[in-house]
Amino acid sequence: MTLSGRSIIGFRRGSDTSRTFTARDPVSGQALDPEFASAGSDEIEQAVRLSAQAFEAYGRLPGREKGKLLRRIASNLENIAAVVVERASRETALPRARLEGETARTCNQLRLFAGVVEEGSWLMARIDRPDPERKPAAKPDIRSMLRPLGPVVVFAASNFPLAFSVAGGDTASALASGNPVIVKAHPAHPGTSELVGQAIGRAVQDCDLPEGVFSLLFDGGNHVGTALVKHPLVKAGGFTGSRAAGITLMQMAAARPEPIPFFAEMSSTNPVFILPGALEEKAEQIAAGLHSSFTLGGGQFCTKPGMVFIPEGEAAGRFSTLLGERLRPPASFHLLTEAIRSSYKSGIESRRKKSGLKALAEFSPDSDSAVGAAIFMTDAKAFLDDPQLGIEIFGPVTLLVRHSSRDELFEIARTLEGHLTATIHGTEEDLERFAELIRVLENKVGRLVFNGFPTGVEVGHATVHGGPFPATSDGRTTSVGSLAIYRFCRPLCYQGFPPAVLPPELKDTNPLGIWRMVDGQLTKEPVTVGLEVKGQAQ
């Protein structure tokens, strides 16, 4: 398990060492060996060309073959999990237990997509049978299914070095739908990235697939990412990161001579609404859960609850005290990168200076490299007057907002921008009284959580980890869960084609035994060949 510090370009390695960078230990601040070479222009070009070549074969691979690749990536990753966790813990300062859990989640996610492509209903295979007798014109035989787009570029995230990185959800879903992937590694954890990239590369070899199915490019700057998004052979992109970077990339993708879909999961403050009954009855439990949730992973979760709305009054005072107490004894957090730490500190500084805000509790750790958690408090009027307060600060901080009326609560809810999640804590009576709140929030987010906390995203079939802009670039999608596969494909239909040249998914006999829609009805049955033959005979 040695690290070469070189990009993985198909089955080859990068050699251009004109620009290099190193990872840093967030605790000590020290550089970690080895030096990583940023991919040069020739290497980028080579990776994209290999990817486009691989697409010709990989894009037509049957589901079970793609499933084999995904399962092999998972088992290869499990085989080196200890080494990966060791390196990731040095590069990210995240606890080992968390990184072990994240590795398991990443493997589960790969196997979830394997199951999806093996099962096959995701393809939306459809057959409209012909009717040569129809008047005024014969009805043709039309069959359609989803097809992949082509080379996909994936930008790995800093905060999930495994689950949203080299072998994360974007890569898994793009590979599942038949697209070769080029990952642009996150420079904060290049060693982890190389280890995972090696595991994927070996899986591609193990499965005898073309080398261009996967590449991993390093870069300490922006050159590689820009070149990939602008490359004419790249057909889509996935990104998880900051709003500023996400918007830059999505605009770049839209401004190409041939615009491409670009799925950026950006920023979210994940509003939490604690309704009166719940605040009264479960203050302690909610305060404990909220504290765990907004400080989890140093508050570096895209689903961190960054604003909490409570009705003012005695219960609010009690809740604030309970929450404040959670910050004692003080804990300190080593954030992922120097940039994140400095941005967190300036975010806290700017809130501290605002006149309408009160620091409810705030801990300043003594170490220079660590930060403390913070809670600010304000009222609905100040919140509504200052749109900055609704914007995400990445790190262990949240904002308590007291409102004085139902009208204020609804004004806040109605003026929210798009977020990944919204959470409601309530009793049965609360839900009856505030039923309309659910209706409002349904249009603001991708996931509604009831009596729970937004951090900890389940990887399943029903999961939606998306939301209206600016939570993501396209609120019609999710980046977690099996629905994420729909981002990287498009429907294609065949009219009047002889069975011999149709893909197996669309043949009369349904040789793959998948769910299909025949004349508008879901079925696994083969289609009647009689009509079929008539249709072909036209």
Instruction: Find the catalytic residue in 194, 302, 392, 408.
Output: 302
d(CA 210, CA 158): 29
Residue 21 near a copy of itself by CB under 8 A: no
Instruction: Identify whether the C-beta of residue 226 lies closer than 8 Å to the C-beta of residue 250.
Output: no
Whether residue 34 is preceded by a cis peptide bond, meaning omega within 30 degrees of 0, is yes
Residue 233 near a copy of itself by CB under 8 A: no
The number of beta carbons lying within 10 Å of the beta carbon of residue 95 is 11
Residue 415 near a copy of itself by CB under 8 A: no
Of the candidate residues 180, 289, 305, 446, the single one contacting a copy of itself (CB under 8 A): 446
Which segment (12-20, 41-49, 294-302, 517-525) binds a copy of itself by CB under 8 A?
A: 517-525
Q: What residues numbered 307-326 form the site for a copy of itself, per CB under 8 A?
A: none
- DSSP, collapsed to helix, strand or coil, labels residue 274 as strand
Which segment (64-72, 215-223, 274-282, 488-496) binds a copy of itself by CB under 8 A?
A: 488-496
- DSSP, collapsed to helix, strand or coil, labels residue 166 as coil
Minimum distance from residue 103 beta carbon to a copy of itself (Å)? 13
Of the candidate residues 60, 64, 96, 352, the single one contacting a copy of itself (CB under 8 A): 60
Residue 62 near a copy of itself by CB under 8 A: no
Minimum distance from residue 338 beta carbon to a copy of itself (Å)? 31
Residues near 138 by beta carbon (within 8 Å), at least 6 away in sequence: 130, 131, 132, 538
Q: What residues numbered 92-111 form the site for a copy of itself, per CB under 8 A?
A: 101
Per-residue x/- mask for a copy of itself, residues 111 to 150, rule CB under 8 A? ----xx--x-x--x-xxx-------xx-xx-xxx--x-xx
Minimum distance from residue 19 beta carbon to a copy of itself (Å)? 32
Burial (Cβ within 10 Å: 0-12, 13-18, ≥19) of residue 483:
buried
Instruction: Find the catalytic residue in 265, 392, 505, 532.
Output: 265
d(CA 456, CA 445): 16
265 is annotated as an active-site residue: yes
Minimum distance from residue 357 beta carbon to a copy of itself (Å)? 26
Residue 449 near a copy of itself by CB under 8 A: yes
Tokens of 146: 């989803």
Of the candidate residues 207, 322, 448, 531, the single one contacting a copy of itself (CB under 8 A): 448
**What is the distance of C-alpha 474 from the center of its chain?**
12
Sign of CA pseudo-dihedral 228, 464, 288, 321? positive
* Phi-psi map region of 150: left, alpha, beta (phi>0 left; psi -120 to 50 alpha): left
d(CA 525, CA 219): 50
Closest CB to a copy of itself among residues 6, 447: 447
Across the chain, which distance is largest between two alpha carbons, in Å? 84
207 is annotated as an active-site residue: no
Minimum distance from residue 14 beta carbon to a copy of itself (Å)? 28
Instruction: Identify whether the C-beta of residue 482 lies closer than 8 Å to the C-beta of residue 271.
Output: no
Q: Which residues are catalytic?
A: 265, 302
